[in-house]
Structure 1
Amino acid sequence: MSQPHDAASKGGMSDRTGRFVVQPNGRTTPLSPHMSVWRWHITMAASILFRATIIAATFGSLFVLAWLGSLAYGPEAYVRFLALAASPLGLLIGFGLTLVLFSLLLNGARHLINDMGAGLSVRTANLLSQIAVWGPVVLAILFWVALFSTGRVSL
């Protein structure tokens, strides 16, 4: 692929911006956007974090599967699972799963609002993305503070 010298003769459009290339078949097409072309903004971060949340939820389901397996194997296995869940590693996994849950809820709400045709202006999309990115962190911290303060969880 090369930059067109005379794009008007190849594809009917002139290119003074350098945003088009001539394909091997002779067609003039726009360059594909790349991460270095776009400046980062909050809606991109929200989209990427939502995908990462889905991946984390997939791995988190293994923790739930281990819980169900410990129930099936009997009381001794369940006590071992509870001991693991109460360990610092288990609490970290629990905090991560809480973060994933709140992220899925807030991003799901953001997508629902967008699917209804609302929240599509730049200002509203940025606000909803800010809520979807930072809201899960705040909600998860508040949730675990409440768990520790009521004595339901301790180190």
Structure 2
Amino acid sequence: MYRRHSLQVHPRKPTLDLNALTKMVSSDRRFAGVNDGKAQFSGSLRNNCALADLKMNRLLNTIDEWAVENGLDESADPVHRFSETVVEDSPPLGLDLRTGEIRTIVWATGFHPDYSWLDLPVLDRKGKIRHDGGSWIPPVCT
């Protein structure tokens, strides 16, 4: 039986991000719809990736600053930042589905937390945990 190494415990710890994926598949498009047998793709992928990179780096900077402020930077791994996500300058906004060029579709819709299992009065009306800077906000008593 052949077993692949888990990415979490693999000694080389390979990075799997959009830049790595684009070496193997076309991942430079965000599906928007179908019209007259043609797939339509959003032109916002470049902006979405840039914003995701910005948010990730802000979070990593916040974590690194916290480590320094709490004297943990000496024992932590060196600061590492990922390469900016590369998106084609002018990706095609359409693709004729009748040509048979598409063999596989990976439908990645994103991650959304679900706290429906949490039986405590900590969620707001949208199902998100009420907090202010990570500290829980109790519901207003009436």
Q: What TM-score do you get using the length of structure 1 for normalisation?
A: 0.28
Larger Rg over CA atoms: 1
Q: Which has the higher strand share?
A: 2
Structure in which a larger fraction of residues adopt helix? 1
Give the TM-score normalised by the residue count of structure 2: 0.30
